[in-house]
């Protein structure tokens, strides 16, 4: 039996019933995780669609991203959109405690943060009833059927921004083409990171007329903030010592980085490695690896500065990468030696650093390929190649300057694309009339 036009498909009806039934169990699980991060009970209830803040007066534009990267990537866009739309208020929702902490420190004017409601019918209805957004903008791959269906029912124009879908996600949605078309049909416009992502959306059932090829939104972000007093203190502690940075590392990568650093110490005995794991809560395990490597360290989270005898400075805090990048123009970006997908190279490039990366950068292929081609980044696959690449830039100032200039020039290209994204959103979501 065919579904009537506009009516939920059988799969969506099943999904809505299941999420209604299992919602309390999922909420208890999510609440327990947030309590583990010392999130206040009032804020935890945001996941059940119960707002912890009043809705501001005036039109409200809502941005939703899953976690840190997606949410932070829209901060610059909101700042510029706020200038374009001076009467508008803004809301960012995300799902993780880490994203809430980082975003809370960097909110643009007229912007609030809330945890996103779980995708249950009741939580989603409470969310929309309270916030009454004039428009909703989903970031990357957040395709939650209940959120999209309720928004569409309420006449909220929706956009998918910076769209990036994995091959497995595409295959999964293609098994249910009617449902995929209905879910994607809720978006007035879909701006993909690259041509492959745009083609994937169309293959899933998106209206080709609503799909656009853009750039990675993270390319348009402002440079990371720098805490100047902290930078001065760190610089004074390092003195004349040179440093290199390994940031956003994951399990299985620190061992490679530490082995490379031991090799580098043979010819550069005063060299300091600033090691910033992606998840600072792994600090004890990473500290043990440093000890096992026979290296001395000091630890950022204790308030300590790099000591003269410390060969490694463990930067196990949140929100300080901008300050750390300002300490050294050589940055290895983790999440790339293992098949994780890589991390955002625009951040070190905007800070004026030359970038080293492993080969596994599927999440940023469209970024790394031209950055490598232009000489702003280099690929390494093991500790020996990493040590060789760092040593070359330590010993050859001209080569390092060339790589840094290429990275900086590449990062600047993204800023020029920001206005085009704002124009597209204003036109397709009718923001200037709604806000």
Question: What are the pLDDT digits (tens) for 263-277?
Answer: 999 999 999 999 999
Q: What confidence tens digit (pLDDT) does each residue in 195-239 have?
A: 888 888 998 889 999 999 887 777 777 788 899 999 999 999 999
Tens digits of per-residue pLDDT, 29-67?
A: 999 999 999 999 999 999 999 999 999 999 999 999 866
The band of 6, judged by pLDDT with boundaries at 50, 70 and 90, is low
Kindly give the residue spans of alpha helices, DSSP state H, lying in 142-253. 145-153, 167-174, 177-184, 195-204, 228-238
Whether residue 108 has pLDDT greater than 60:
yes
Least confident of 7-11, 45-49, 91-95: 7-11
Residue 71 has pLDDT above 90, yes or no: no
What is the pLDDT of the chain when averaged over all its residues? Answer: 91
Active-site annotation holds for 70: yes
- How far apart CA 7 and CA 414 sit, in angstroms, is 40
Q: What is the pLDDT of residue 85?
A: 95
Residue 3 in this model has a pLDDT that exceeds 70? no
pLDDT of res. 105: 86
Which residue among the candidates 70, 142, 150, 366 is catalytic per the annotation?
70
Position 1 scores a pLDDT of 42
What does DSSP say about strands 211-213 and 187-192: parallel, antiparallel, or unpaired? Answer: parallel
Count the helices and strands in the chain (H runs, E runs): 19, 14
pLDDT of residue 411: 86
pLDDT at 262 over 70: yes
- Across residues 79-104, what is the average pLDDT? 92
Tell me the domains of the chain and their CATH numbers: 10-221+416-434 (3.40.50.11720), 228-415 (3.40.50.2000)
CB distance 367 to 346 below 8 Å:
yes
| Pairwise CA distance, residues 357 & 355, whole Å | 7
């Amino acid at each position: 039996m065919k579904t009537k036009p506009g009516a939920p498909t059988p799969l969506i009806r099943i999904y809505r019933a299941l999420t209604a039934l299992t919602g309390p169990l999922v909420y208890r699980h999510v609440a327990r995780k947030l309590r583990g991060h010392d999130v206040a009970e009032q804020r935890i209830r945001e996941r059940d669609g119960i707002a912890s803040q009043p809705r501001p007066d005036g039109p409200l534009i809502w941005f939703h991203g899953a976690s840190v990267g997606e949410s932070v990537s829209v901060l610059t866009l909101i700042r510029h959109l706020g200038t374009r739309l001076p009467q508008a208020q803004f809301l960012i929702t995300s799902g993780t405690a880490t994203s809430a902490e980082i975003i809370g420190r960097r909110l643009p004017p007229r912007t609030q943060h809330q945890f996103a409601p779980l995708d249950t019918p009741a939580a989603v209805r409470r969310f929309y009833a309270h916030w009454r957004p004039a428009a909703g903008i989903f970031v990357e791959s957040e395709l939650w059927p209940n959120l999209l269906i309720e928004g569409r029912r309420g006449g909220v124009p929706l956009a998918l921004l910076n769209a990036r879908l994995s091959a497995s996600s595409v295959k999964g949605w293609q098994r249910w083409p009617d449902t995929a078309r209905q879910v994607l049909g809720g978006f007035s416009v879909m701006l993909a990171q690259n041509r492959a992502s745009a083609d994937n959306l169309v293959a899933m059932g998106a209206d080709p007329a609503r799909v656009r090829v853009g750039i990675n939104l993270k390319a348009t972000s402002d440079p990371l903030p720098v805490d100047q007093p902290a930078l001065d203190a760190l610089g004074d502690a390092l003195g004349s010592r040179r440093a290199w940075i390994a940031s956003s590392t994951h399990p299985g990568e620190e061992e490679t980085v530490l082995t490379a650093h031991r090799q580098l110490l043979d010819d550069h005995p005063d060299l300091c490695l600033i090691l910033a794991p992606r998840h600072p809560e792994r600090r004890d395990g990473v500290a043990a690896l440093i000890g096992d490597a026979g290296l001395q360290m000091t630890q950022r989270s204790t308030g300590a500065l790099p000591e003269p005898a410390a060969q490694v400075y463990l930067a196990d805090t949140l929100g300080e990468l901008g300050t750390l990048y300002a300490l050294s123009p050589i940055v290895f970006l983790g999440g790339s030696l293992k098949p994780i997908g890589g991390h955002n190279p625009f951040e070190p490039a905007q800070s004026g650093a030359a970038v080293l990366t492993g080969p596994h950068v599927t999440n940023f292929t469209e970024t790394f390929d031209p950055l490598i081609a232009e000489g702003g980044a280099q690929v390494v696959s093991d500790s020996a190649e990493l040590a060789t690449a760092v040593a070359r830039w330590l010993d050859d100032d001209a080569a390092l300057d060339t790589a840094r200039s290429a990275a900086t020039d590449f990062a600047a290209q993204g800023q020029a694309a920001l206005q085009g994204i704002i124009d597209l959103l204003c036109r397709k979501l009718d923001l200037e009339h709604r806000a």
